[in-house]
A and B are shown apart, each in its own frame.
Chain A
């Protein structure tokens, strides 16, 4: 599927030889197993390009978006990345909904020296730093750190973990276990479940019966965490339950049921609690603008993943504006110099050693109360 928003023929005639068009490429997983990531990302990009062009484009030049759907397949993503660079002659690439597709796009982008902004979570994408690769989502490790910070404040020192065996759950489980020691917390029970399992009471019973468990952490996304939350309530486990940023959406409360989700804590982004942000919060205007536009356009509520695409586009347009020209190397230098740019995920400040540019403050610790998200200070 190829969607190209090309400047109208009239516009090209007026612009004449200047060829006033900035070509931006994107490869996301709009269909396939990662469609819940790629679908809002694709819609966000199309919406933003349309809006930007209606406002006169960047530096007076229209933006042409070449969007491919890689279906979550790293091989396809590599092919599309090559096609974007060689045939479509784009100046920058946004995309890679999953870590797998991002890794294959980044090798093509690095070889051809085209700036690439990934929308996937894994820390491997930007660590070690590669000159032309950037990313917008915070890493799983940062989510773990945010959760452990909150546990530390509560005086929790021994926890049980129940993790999904899907890519997200397994990755976060590993990241959390790597950093948990820094917070003086030990994992005394470590259970897993298959993302398609229908019942997790067995694992939760084992965790509950482990001596000294003070809280339970559930890294995972999809239906798994909802079922864990329901089973948690069913067993009446009287310990704090922490979920991951993977389920930070209104859908989670709906699926788990407001009753079972009561008191669940998780790290989420500003996007989820647009209405709760303080009026002087630098992210507020931006988050509200994106939320309104996206919900009006698609009729579905915003999620964290579409926000990643929103931020990637923001960083890119900001960089092109500052660079003053649409030359890949100039754009790269400008992205690396991004400073204090507020996005939906956090406030980005990049430098030569940090191609993500977010710190823990990007996450807000949230608690579900009465079926609504509330902010923990």
Chain B
């Protein structure tokens, strides 16, 4: 029993990391149908900028805020400099642009902040919490809490606010959205700022667990993307459930099958789900009206 509980805790810890990254994908996707492959770099920037500010003597909470604001600004700059000039391009071209931007951000960070692996202290110490023979770190609870808070925030944003609905409208039909008076350029800028901010928040929360360096973004983005696809791209609930599910799948495979097949088993399940439910678990059905 303590064994199963430990596997569950491990899975939830990892899953919450994936979920936080996956949540970052949703806003930009909802605004433009673009899968932003630089999302992992936003997570990396959140961690790395916090590390740099903290090392310079800034208190940790302030360092985290600086990192989130700076990353959001980088997200806006990326939209203005790379995405907006290519506005008329098809979605696939835009996705490729985001891959280019991610390589650029990675290279820039390597030059400015170095190639070393870094970390900063966990928010509530390192003493593990013991529950029925299994243990979980307080930082894992921060990550899980962060994922839930971001999920609720996004859900309220998309269903309860006019701006959130404007984002969805822009994604559905940009021309129609413009005709009803939505400033679609502002929506795009806003979505990049929010996505980058959420990514950076994820980076701040997960760094004490995963550690960070200039090149952690790619691996995080891939797992986060897989989680988002599993849950249904664009749906915050899908991102949360997809992330936790992916983490639990990996942990259970490692625990009861073999750690060698951990990643493979997770991806087989994702393939099967997408085979039978191409929209993911909670994805919206797209209906093309002619």
Residues of A within 8 A of B (CB): 31, 33, 35-36, 39, 191-194, 196-203, 205-206, 209, 222-223, 226-227, 230, 233-236, 251, 254-255, 257, 259-260
B70 on interface, CB distance cutoff 8 Å: no
Verify A199–B213 contact, CB threshold 8 A: no
Separation of A309 and B186 alpha carbons in the complex (Å): 53
Verify B126–A235 contact, CB threshold 8 A: no
Verify B216–A196 contact, CB threshold 8 A: yes
Verify A257–B117 contact, CB threshold 8 A: no
Which of B81-89, B96-104, B159-167, B254-262 is the interface stretch?
Answer: B254-262
Q: Which of A194, A197, A223 contacts B117, CB < 8 Å? A: A223
Chain B CB within 10 A, most for which of A197, A199, A226: A199
Q: Which of A193, A203, A251 contacts B116, CB < 8 Å? A: A251
- Chain B residues with Cβ below 8 Å from A206 are 254-255, 259
Pull 22 A–B residue pairs with CB atoms less than 8 Å apart, ordered by A. A33-B215, A35-B115, A36-B115, A194-B262, A198-B17, A199-B10, A199-B14, A201-B13, A201-B135, A202-B255, A205-B10, A206-B255, A223-B117, A223-B210, A223-B211, A226-B117, A226-B119, A234-B126, A235-B135, A236-B135, A255-B117, A260-B126
- Chain B residues with Cβ below 8 Å from A36 are 115-116
For the complex formed, measure the closest distance between the CB of A35 and the CB atoms of chain B, giving whole angstroms. Answer: 5
Verify A198–B254 contact, CB threshold 8 A: no
- Chain A residues with Cβ below 8 Å from B209 are 198-199, 227
- Among B209-230, those with CB < 8 Å from A are 209-211, 213, 215-216, 219-220
Q: Which of B3, B17, B137, B211 contacts A226, CB < 8 Å? A: B211
Q: Which of B6, B135, B211, B259 contacts A192, CB < 8 Å? A: B259
Verify A203–B213 contact, CB threshold 8 A: no
For the complex formed, measure the closest distance between the CB of A54 and the CB atoms of chain B, giving whole angstroms. Answer: 28
Separation of A254 and B14 alpha carbons in the complex (Å): 22
For the complex formed, measure the closest distance between the CB of A33 and the CB atoms of chain B, giving whole angstroms. Answer: 7
- Chain A residues with Cβ below 8 Å from B219 are 196
Separation of A9 and B229 alpha carbons in the complex (Å): 63
- Among B114-151, those with CB < 8 Å from A are 115-119, 126, 128, 135, 137
Separation of A39 and B213 alpha carbons in the complex (Å): 15
Chain B CB within 10 A, most for which of A205, A223, A260: A205
Verify B254–A203 contact, CB threshold 8 A: yes
Separation of A199 and B262 alpha carbons in the complex (Å): 13
Known A-B contacts A223-B210, A226-B211, A235-B135; A202 and B115 likewise in contact (beta carbons under 8 Å)? no
Verify B206–A201 contact, CB threshold 8 A: no
Verify A198–B14 contact, CB threshold 8 A: yes
Closest to B119 in A: A255
Separation of A192 and B11 alpha carbons in the complex (Å): 16
- Chain A residues with Cβ below 8 Å from B215 are 33
In order of increasing CB-CB distance, the 5 nearest A-B pairs are A196-B219, A223-B211, A198-B210, A201-B10, A202-B10
- Chain A residues with Cβ below 8 Å from B13 are 198-199, 201
- Chain B residues with Cβ below 8 Å from A222 are 117
Separation of A230 and B13 alpha carbons in the complex (Å): 14
Separation of A361 and B262 alpha carbons in the complex (Å): 38
B1-39, CB under 8 A of A: which get 1 and which 0? 001001101110110010000000000000000000000
B251 on interface, CB distance cutoff 8 Å: yes
Separation of A48 and B13 alpha carbons in the complex (Å): 47
Separation of A251 and B213 alpha carbons in the complex (Å): 13
- Chain B residues with Cβ below 8 Å from A35 are 110, 115
Separation of A47 and B259 alpha carbons in the complex (Å): 44
Verify A201–B6 contact, CB threshold 8 A: yes
- Chain A residues with Cβ below 8 Å from B259 are 191-193, 202-203, 206
Separation of A201 and B255 alpha carbons in the complex (Å): 10
Q: Which of A193, A223, A227, A260 contacts B213, CB < 8 Å? A: A223
- Chain B residues with Cβ below 8 Å from A191 are 254, 259
Separation of A206 and B7 alpha carbons in the complex (Å): 9
For the complex formed, measure the closest distance between the CB of B142 and the CB atoms of chain A, giving whole angstroms. Answer: 13
Verify A201–B9 contact, CB threshold 8 A: yes
Verify B255–A205 contact, CB threshold 8 A: yes
- Chain A residues with Cβ below 8 Å from B17 are 198
For the complex formed, measure the closest distance between the CB of B210 and the CB atoms of chain A, giving whole angstroms. Answer: 4
For the complex formed, measure the closest distance between the CB of A186 and the CB atoms of chain B, giving whole angstroms. Answer: 19
- Chain A residues with Cβ below 8 Å from B251 are 199, 202
Separation of A259 and B117 alpha carbons in the complex (Å): 19
Known A-B contacts A194-B262, A196-B216; A202 and B135 likewise in contact (beta carbons under 8 Å)? no
Verify A227–B7 contact, CB threshold 8 A: no
B53-64, CB under 8 A of A: which get 1 and which 0? 000000000000
